[in-house]
Amino acid sequence: MIKKTRAEITKCILHKVANKFNSGQNVFSDDLIRFDQESYDLMKNFLLKPFGSLTQSYRFSHHADVRLNELNNYASEVFKEESSFVEYSKNIVNHLFEQSNSAQIKTGDVIVVFIEGIEYKDVLTEAVGIFKIENKVDFFQTYLDDNESFDVVVQKGISTKRIDKGCLILNTSDTEGTVVFSVDNNNYDAQYWIKNFLAVKLADDYNSHTQNYLELCKEFSEEVIKPELGMKEQGNFLANTVDYFKEHEAVDYNEFKDEIFEDEKHKELFEDYKKHYENLNDVLIRNNFDVSGVVLKKEKNKLKTEIKLDTNITIKLDVDAPDAASEYLERGYDEEKKMKFYKVYFNEEK
């Protein structure tokens, strides 16, 4: 997690990136953007706000030598010599252009910035920021016409609500390499930004361990428990999983299986699925790791524990109440109506 309290954007430039698949051409600027105070404050908040709440970071990767990773190389050169910023900002856009290998990759504006005073783990450092604006919004511009009357015209511009894609490459590293943060709010192609352009992997820390394990459980509930045991048991499993993570500071794989599954068959199914999931997603699920409370809070909101019925009724199960479904929800079959049913017990409506 970074802090932006003392951060200052000292260099900023904007280029246009095209789509190689459609034979487009990039358009480059040669001069830095000069801000007035109002536009600077707006731009700084727009670019840096998404990173204030991120807990997970990435590290550059390369199949041969991480020093051959393009962005790692470009950022390193900028950190060595700030005067090379404009030159390498163009190289960054050209590298992004080379990743547009399909028609669905969007063209857009690319903002490259140099930032001083980013705080990471209580240390101030510099960062190179890269932001791609893929979508623009319509807005009304008012103006005074030749008849001294006010009129409006529709124009397109960049919304300040959120960035589409962005990353911060920090001038700091650990045993795994250079620290990188990334956001992607238009992840229509997961390969394009993270794997092809940035070529990064999640840091091997307790944040990624927690996320990987919870994602494994989420997929297991969807692909194994739901088809075999139904949506109620799927909800029970997810609720019990969240409860285990909340009650334990660290996860132990064997202990987790013993607490979550009563049937040995289901333990074996989970073991088999874990191996399948690791091979399919090229990820290592740790058997022992510390729990990240921040990641748990974030990821549990993604766990869908809803029972959707064909009668246009949805029953939502709270993952924070693992015993609720088993105690207050019954499933049965009505012989007269020839339909399945759920019986819900409660004291008061909220």
What does the pLDDT look like over 198-227, one tens digit per residue?
Answer: 999 988 889 989 999 999 999 999 899 989
What's the total number of domains in the chain? 2
Please report whether residue 276 resides in a domain. Answer: yes
Please report whether residue 146 resides in a domain. Answer: no
Instruction: Please state, as a whole number, how many other Cβ atoms lie within 10 Å of the Cβ of residue 107.
Output: 16
**DSSP code for 275:** H
- Claim: this prediction has a pTM higher than 0.85: no
Shared-domain flag, residues 197 and 211: no
Please report whether residue 44 resides in a domain. Answer: yes
Question: How is residue 40 written in tokens?
Answer: 């600077």
Please report whether residue 350 resides in a domain. Answer: no
Please report whether residue 317 resides in a domain. Answer: yes
Paired residues of 136 in beta bridges: none
Shared-domain flag, residues 24 and 112: yes
Rounded mean pLDDT, 296-300: 85
Please report whether residue 153 resides in a domain. Answer: no
Contact 315, 307 (CB under 8 A): yes
Shared-domain flag, residues 217 and 337: yes
Please report whether residue 349 resides in a domain. Answer: no
pLDDT tens track for 224-248? 998 988 877 888 898 899 999 999 9
Contact 149, 131 (CB under 8 A): no
pLDDT tens track for 7-17? 999 999 999 99
Show which of 203, 231, 261 is a domain's final residue. Answer: 203
Q: Where are the strands (E) in 121-191, listed by range? A: 123-133, 137-144, 150-157, 165-174, 177-184
Band of residue 315 on the pLDDT scale cut at 50, 70, 90: confident
Shared-domain flag, residues 244 and 110: no
Shared-domain flag, residues 275 and 168: no
Angle (CA) 304 251 237, round 5°: 30
Contact 134, 111 (CB under 8 A): no
Length of the chain, in residues: 350
* Full residue range of the structural domain in which residue 40 is found: 2-134+162-203
pLDDT tens track for 134-163? 998 888 988 888 888 888 889 888 888 889
Please report whether residue 337 resides in a domain. Answer: yes
Rounded mean pLDDT, 1-25: 93
Band of residue 322 on the pLDDT scale cut at 50, 70, 90: low
Contact 79, 88 (CB under 8 A): no
Question: How is residue 278 written in tokens?
Answer: 């690791």
**DSSP code for 208:** H
Shared-domain flag, residues 166 and 264: no
